[in-house]
A and B are shown apart, each in its own frame.
Chain A
Amino acid sequence: MHLSHTPALLRSLVAAAVLGVVAVMVQRVDVVVLMVPFVVHLAWGWRSRPHVDLVVESRPKAVVIPEGESVSMVTHATHAWRSALVTLQWPVRPGISLDPDSGTVLDAAVPEGVRVAVQPERWGRYDVGPGTVAVCDPSGSWRASTTTPRVTVTVRPTSSSLEGGSGVAHPIGIVGMHRSRRRGDGSDLAEVREFRPGDRLRRINWRVTSRLGALHVNSTLTERDTDVLIVADTLVDIVPARPEAPTSLDATVRAIAAISRHYGGFGDRVAIHDLGRRIGHVRPGTGPRHARMVLNVLSRANRDVPDWDRLRPVGTVTSGMLVFFCSPLLERESQDELVRLRRLGAEVIGVDTLPEGVGQFGDIRSFRRDTFLGEAWMIRRMERDEALARLRSIGIPVTPWRGTSSLASVLLSMEAARSAPRRVPGR
């Protein structure tokens, strides 16, 4: 910590010395009177001179917070002067809101420390700092300054649960919470039928039995879990004209957080496959620990990877696996991958993560007139809309991501389709 005198103390010294010499030489009382404030300040500064080493500690070093919350950077100055003043200054940088706005606060040195609140505007990993701490004695004569270490703030994306049903048409596990079409031990009533050898006695429906005269039992549907694969298309991060608006990567991350939480709650095995390199893969898993791991992986997603890296196709897909394909669906390769997964037998739902205003008519104003980029984006969006229409025509639902209620209609319709009459091929 660098300790030094302030310009005020130097000013007092110079003024007191010069005026003192002049007062003695010319023997004038009035000059002594003018000298008094500087001598008093010198004496105060002399009394406040530091005797022990100052220590400044800043906390926390690293912190993980959910999106939308803030963290207080607390700085303690120990062995400081009695009634010392502490100036704490954190650098302002884009994407982070500070309280106070300037990130700078002048406070008294108190045991609970000096605080500046830091609130990242969206999910991700942020390096905040280094901050600057200056401790000043109450006379403004001495000043000690140092820098605080950088603080890593990891912001987990919001993981609100999806609205709507599970959308699982063909559970492929053994036990779980999704109602399957198979009869067996479960809680949902399938039918009441006559007793057969092997039926459990506790399944006997005594009311129906006494009415009909023959033993009848309740037949139930089994409950099973399933495999959920979330495919993240992070090859390109589409950034809208407004810098504060969510990008396609923001939408992708939030959709993955909500979907993984939703199906994690059902006890399903959730895996993530990244077609690009911004998020990375997550092995199939279930439970709260796996949900936390997914959020940690998402919060470490890297925005700075160059666009259009090589597409990494999904490996094996089990028949009946529920696949959420989160993508802006602008590139032909991504659309082909979506169709390929459907043909492999997966139940595929396309989640459109293209930001809302991109390629719309009103977005043309965001670009320079002579570049015609606005018009180019409109043409690209029209081509994409045509591709989406083709995807829907072959039975792949594609729904734009607009929050937790985005998939409700699709999931409910998929659940309803499970019990719908089916045409058996060949008959």
Chain B
Amino acid sequence: MRDLAEVLAGWIYALQITSGQQWVLRLTVLSSGVGAAVLCNLWFPVLISPALLVTALVMAFASVIRPDSVAPLFFVAAVGLWWLAGAAAASQPDGGGGTPGRWLGVTVLVAVFHLSTAFAAAAPSYARVTGRAAKLLSLAGVGYVAVSVAVGMAVLGLAALPRHVLGPGWVVAGALSVSVATVALVAALRPRRAH
């Protein structure tokens, strides 16, 4: 109990000494996380929606305080589970649970959450962010979200093609690309030591 109190006190102190620029960054994390959770709750209702909503909100708050922890991963896991369970009807041609616009809306928020968490983890909460760094972060964030939206729309465009045009080929291509990318990245993730 005492440990928990110390942890909470540490979190509160970390919030107290957070610099103004870091507040903006972390509010971006919080708003995008809460936005994604709320939109999932509205657009992809499932039986366990309340539990997923609570989990996602708690993880979003935890991501604000500790962006370099596993909390953002759990948030993504909660949203992914929600998506898998609730957006199933949306993938059916006659389904009314979701539309490509809704998918892109949630995807954009997840993208913003993901990158802003990565940026927030780059420095302690009490770090002063210079104007140059803020400009760099903003440009990188806008570019990343724009590319994600463009690729998402391309995927939707490809999916809108008649099934006989692509056939099962996209499944094979997707599986191959995911496998190759995973193997290559795992090899690249080995820690390296420089001088």
Contacts and interface: CB of A to CB of B under 8 A. Distances in A.
Interface in B146-195: 147-148, 151-152, 155-156, 159, 171, 174-175, 177-178, 181-182, 184-186, 188-189, 191-195
A108 B98 contact: no
Interface stretch (B4-12, B49-57, B84-92): B84-92
Interface string A1-44: 11111111111111111111111100111111110111111101
A106 B144 contact: no
B142 interface: no
B136 A105 contact: no
Contacts of B175: 20-21, 24
Nearest to B159: A29
A108 B130 contact: yes
A27 B103 CA distance: 16
A36 B152 contact: yes
A53 interface: yes
Interface in B98-121: 98, 100, 103-104, 106-107, 110-111, 114-115, 117-119, 121
B17 interface: yes
Interface of B: 17, 19, 21, 68-70, 72-73, 76, 79-80, 83-84, 87-88, 90-91, 98, 100, 103-104, 106-107, 110-111, 114-115, 117-119, 121-124, 126-130, 132-133, 135-137, 140, 144, 147-148, 151-152, 155-156, 159, 171, 174-175, 177-178, 181-182, 184-186, 188-189, 191-195
Given A3-B193, A33-B155, A46 B178 contact: no
Contacts of A298: none
Nearest to A41: B114
A21 B118 CA distance: 24
B119 A140 contact: yes
Given A8-B72, A13-B189, A28-B91, 8 more contacts: A20-B175, A21-B175, A24-B174, A30-B87, A34-B106, A36-B111, A46-B184, A54-B194
Contacts, number: 201
Most chain A CB within a 10 A radius of its CB, from B72, B117, B148? B148
Complex A-B, nearest 6 residue pairs according to Cβ-Cβ distance, in ascending order: A140-B118, A8-B118, A20-B178, A37-B111, A53-B194, A29-B159
Interface residues of A, number: 67
Contacts of A42: 181, 185
Nearest to B17: A102
Contacts of B152: 33, 36
A55 B195 CA distance: 7
B52 to A, nearest CB: 15
Contacts of B148: 36-37, 40
A107 B21 CA distance: 12
A31 B17 contact: no
Q: Quick one: which of A41, A45, A85 has the most chain B CB within 10 A?
A: A85
A155 interface: no
Given A8-B117, A28-B88, A29-B159, A106 B111 contact: no
B128 A32 contact: no
Contact of A104 (B124, B140, B177): B124
A75 to B, nearest CB: 13
Nearest to B158: A29
A106 B107 contact: no
A107 B128 CA distance: 8
B174 A139 contact: no
